[in-house]
Amino acid sequence: MNTKIQSIKFDADQRLLAFAEEKVGKLDKFFDGIVSAEIAMSIENVSDEKNKVVKIRLDVPGTGLFAENKCKTFEEAIDLNVEVLKKQLAKYKEKLRG
């Protein structure tokens, strides 16, 4: 799977980039037909406690899957998005079989 990571309006450290790539890379276990993944991380409204926004888009044959979350940390938002995408991939696989 080809993974593209963007950090918008801030510089992400290597640890965060590696964490994001590792977590999204594990989605291959649930569906091996994922073509690519795009991860966009940004910081919104600095005064708000939950200001870390992560958007993940997966390109799979025939459609695209998307998840977005806003949390206190980027790691938490990535974990939540991966869980959402696992469910979406399961539904997509069922649809393909049916």
**Per-residue pLDDT tens digits for 25-42:** 999 999 989 999 999 999
pLDDT, residue 93, reads 92
What one-character DSSP code corresponds to residue 62? T
Contact in structure between 80 and 69 (CB atoms under 8 Å):
yes
Q: Model's pTM, two decimal places?
A: 0.94
pLDDT, residue 27, reads 95
What percent of the chain is modeled with pLDDT above 90?
Answer: 84
What mean pLDDT value characterizes the chain?
A: 94
The yes-or-no verdict on residue 45 having pLDDT over 90 is no
Tell me the C-alpha distance between 94 and 97, whole Å. 5
* All domains of the chain in start order, with CATH: 2-97 (3.30.160.100)
* Mean pLDDT to the nearest integer, 48-74: 95
Tell me the C-alpha distance between 93 and 90, whole Å. 5
